[in-house]
Amino acid sequence: MAENEELTGPVSQEDIEAAEKYKNEANECFKKQHYNNAIELYSKAIEKNPKNAIYYGNRSISNLKLENFGYALSDATKAICLDKTYIKAYYRRAAANMSLGKYKQALMDFQYVTKVRPNDKDAKLKYNECNKIVMKIAFEKAIAVEKKEVNIADSINLDSITIEDEYVGPSLEDGKVTLKFVTELMKFYENQKKLHKKYAYKILIDVKAYLQKQPSLVDIKVDDDKKFTVCGDIHGQYYDLMNIFKLNGLPSESNPYLFNGDFVDRGSFSVECIFTLFSFKLLYPDHFFMSRGNHETLDMNRVYGFRGEVTSKYSSQMADLFTEVYHWLPLAHCINSRVLVMHGGLFSKDDITLDDIRKVERNREPPEDGIMCELLWSDPQPMEGRSPSRRGVGCQFGPDVTAAFLKTNKLDYVIRSHEVKNDGYEVAHDGMCITVFSAPNYCDTMGNLGAFITMNGKDLKPNFTKYEAVPHPDVKAMAYANSVLSMLY
């Protein structure tokens, strides 16, 4: 953040009044969910009066809404430095730390609030909920040593799972996904029905077996006269996923797709999304592709709802199996050796090659830095060079970084997702870096359009289709998310 936030010297009455005016304007933008505008105005307020903790606290919650967890953490910490009695700042710092999977740090803030406000029932509730997560993770780590050699996919006995007579949903044919199965499944899901767990487990086991044989960077060949579609984040918005297929046709050998990560979390129909996508992957393995996103990870699934949704609809064992499967999702795809597609972005180091991506050992949770982390988490920035990530993970990279990477690897441009865009897409870095985001009205609150990209194999020129959100059953976004996080936002 570029503004001057030094705390030296007195603040004039004129600046104090100007800062309050900016803050009030920012508050109105926040109420309208115009979070970027709110951040700009809170920043102006801070420039005028850098000694007011509330401005930092308000900017922190705005950054949380935009998933800028690194900035949110920094602002909340600044607010606490200015006013140690400003309780909201502790909650916002805790929310940022939880969003980054730093539960122990979040717990310390809750603990502090309960000490200074021993009779505050809300503070005690948040502390207890966060403490449960910390204790659960500690328990999981303790038993992980014993379970280290256990492969969940191999431990499931499908023959022992009985299909009840009253089940009337779609069925695999000879244990295989067919077009009939997928079309019946999509209609079944639209009617809010649940796939039988035997078929659900079989799909996961088969998808894992297939993905294990794939490289970390998958090469895709698109013929000159063929269309290819790239979709961005879906985030559990099943009915919007169905709308994409309505607008652009069902996946098939003549209508191939790449879904670029973040299939799950936040939206409350993540189970329906992921089983539909995995079914198409099994049906058309050479014409349907899926990249790993930063939300195909254990920490994100714990907080943002997918793990809770799977446990609610099926079991914690199936949630564990999903984690196992996600470890094998490819990290990037290269179309006709000319367009690289990854969920997040480029790298903190120069001279990274496609071969470096191919060599990444991906069967794990993402590390906190390095190629795998940055493929899932990084974001472009308009200025040249690199900056620390506003998310607190990965990096931000400028047009010069993109140009150098493309030149090194003889590529035309990159496609990435990972960020909400008002129009569902954004073309940046002189056309060399394209963002596509396919979840309209993200989290039922953002009001953005969704988009997908189509191109033909000959020129790979990106064409953009925008669309609005469609109605969905009355299950709100974040319905399965960790309860303490929903209390904090």
Q: Rounded distance, CA 76 to CA 88, Å?
A: 9
β partners of residue 339: 335, 413
Query: Residue 45 CB: number of other CB atoms within 10 A?
Result: 27
Q: Rounded distance, CA 254 to CA 84, Å?
A: 61
Among candidate residues 461, 442, 464, 462, the one with its CA nearest the CA of residue 452: 464
Q: Rounded distance, CA 203 to CA 172, Å?
A: 9
Q: Within 49-120, where are the H helices?
A: 53-65, 69-82, 87-99, 103-116
Among candidate residues 344, 406, 409, the one with its CA nearest the CA of residue 373: 344
Structure tokens at 157: 């006995």
Q: How far apart are the first and last CA of the chain?
A: 22
Among candidate residues 447, 451, 444, the one with its CA nearest the CA of residue 471: 444
Cα distances (Å, whole numbers) of residue 279 to 176, 251, 265: 10, 11, 19
CB 366 within 8 A of CB 44: no
Q: What's the burial of 258, exposed, middle or buried (CB within 10 Å: 0-12/13-18/19+)?
A: buried
CB 63 within 8 A of CB 72: yes
Q: Which of 295, 333, 343, 429 is catalytic?
A: 295
Q: Is 472 a catalytic residue?
A: no
Q: Which residues lie below 8 Å from residue 353, measured CB to CB, with a gap of 6+?
A: 408, 409
CB 67 within 8 A of CB 98: no
Catalytic residue annotation: 295
